[in-house]
Structure 1
Amino acid sequence: MSKAFTKETDADDDDDAAGGLPALPPGAKNYITPRGHARLRSELIQLMDLDRPKVVEAVHWAAKNGDRSENGDYLYGKKRLREIDRRIRFLTKRLEVAEVTDPTIHHGRDQVFFGATVRYADETGDERELTIMGIDEADSARQQVSWISPIARALLKHREGDVVRLSTPGGVHDIEILSVSYPATPTEN
């Protein structure tokens, strides 16, 4: 079959997987903190106003250099342009459905809501801490989990001192909420 009739990759149209982020559950809101929203918006502006025009200019220059089928600059530029466009579509969709939720409004409360930092102990007494964030901003390396993760869903709406049942693939475990905190409002810093 001619190469002209083959699709380059199966992921070209998979906007939901752009950037390795999970898809939103059907009907779920895309909760996000103001900082996370600003970061996504800044990335979108960077891609649209700076990165994409530079790549378009490079592709245009490379296209003028003759045979495009063996022109590495042209081929790489076109591939990079598709990646940028896919990420722009993804960010645009995510920002359109984003529901900015400021966790500072819960500062001083002991109940777990979006944006809470929760310290808890498992059945063995091991203590851990995590912060419940939006799907697009959670970073496990920084002890942040998405609000749709099993542990976040188990913790939500409970209070300090509550024992919560957490279902995992390894079985059901009891965890005790030791403390709940939220970021202070900017005037309280």
Structure 2
Amino acid sequence: MKGRNMTRWRDPAKDPRQEPKSNLITAQGAERLRGILDHLSRVKRPALSTKVGEAAALGDRSENADYTYNKKELNRVIARIRYLTKRLDELQVVDRLPADTDKIFFGAFVSLEDDDGEALDIRIVGHDEIDTDKRWISVDAPMAKALLGKEVDDEITVQTPTGEAFYTVADVRYANP
């Protein structure tokens, strides 16, 4: 599944270094996660189980690379199924537009302009939907936190690794859920 930018969830109560993540997700993101879970459960896991069984039937498992590889892959798929099942239960699907679509809230597509007039288009999504190629950022990211509640022509300041960055909100729009 190339291009997948989902990260592993860690319980903040067990890892104090881990800042709590919001449990918001767009309807499209939830559907995508359900599709991945369905594929792993109905296609990938049964196929790997069959391969493990066939390799085990060949005899000595200690020197059977096919058995070892497929068993590890099966365990990885089972762990991913467990994770996705738990995560989907925890997520809150945001499937409607905000009351005020002139302001920036979860799910917004935002066009920004920096001091040099360079444009930056981003979307504010849930932690499980981050996609750097599409410029979809987490609602928990500093940029998103600075943008929430703002509207067109508002200015924001964001702390970056190279110093402060200043942006002006050029446009706010939402996809129809």
Same fold (TM over 0.5): yes
Are the counterparts in 2 of residues 29 and 97 from structure 1 also a CA contact under 8 Å? no
**Aligned residue number for residue 87 of structure 2:** 94
Q: Offset of 1:29 from its aligned partner?
A: 2.9
In structure 2, the gaps of 5 or more residues are 11-17
Pick one of 58, 83, 91 that aligns with 2:51.
58
Cα 1:22–1:151, aligned 2, differ >3 Å: closer, same or farther? Answer: farther
Q: How many residues align?
A: 166
Q: Which structure has the greater CA radius of gyration? A: 1
Pick one of 110, 115, 119 that aligns with 2:111.
119
In the TM superposition, 1:20-31 aligns within 5 A as: 21=7, 23=9, 26-31=19-24
TM-score (norm 1): 0.81
**Aligned residue number for residue 34 of structure 1:** 27
Query: CA separation in 1, counterparts of 2:30 and 2:140?
Result: 17
Pick one of 137, 145, 149 that aligns with 2:137.
145
Are the counterparts in 2 of residues 107 and 181 from structure 1 also a CA contact under 8 Å? no
Are the counterparts in 1 of residues 156 and 168 from structure 2 also a CA contact under 8 Å? yes
**Aligned residue number for residue 161 of structure 1:** 153
Are the counterparts in 2 of residues 59 and 74 from structure 1 also a CA contact under 8 Å? yes
Query: CA separation in 1, counterparts of 2:43 and 2:7?
Result: 23
1:143-182 Cα offsets, whole Å, 9 max, x none, are 2111111111111111111101111121122211011000
1:87-114 Cα offsets, whole Å, 9 max, x none, are 1122112111101012x51387210000
**Aligned residue number for residue 173 of structure 2:** 181
Q: Offset of 1:26 from its aligned partner?
A: 4.9
In structure 1, the gaps of 5 or more residues are 1-18
Higher RCO, 1 vs 2 (CA within 8 Å, ≥6 residues apart): 2
Q: Offset of 1:184 from its aligned partner?
A: 2.8
TM-score (norm 2): 0.86
Pick one of 120, 123, 148 that aligns with 1:128.
120
Task: Please provide the CA RMSD for this pair.
Answer: 1.9
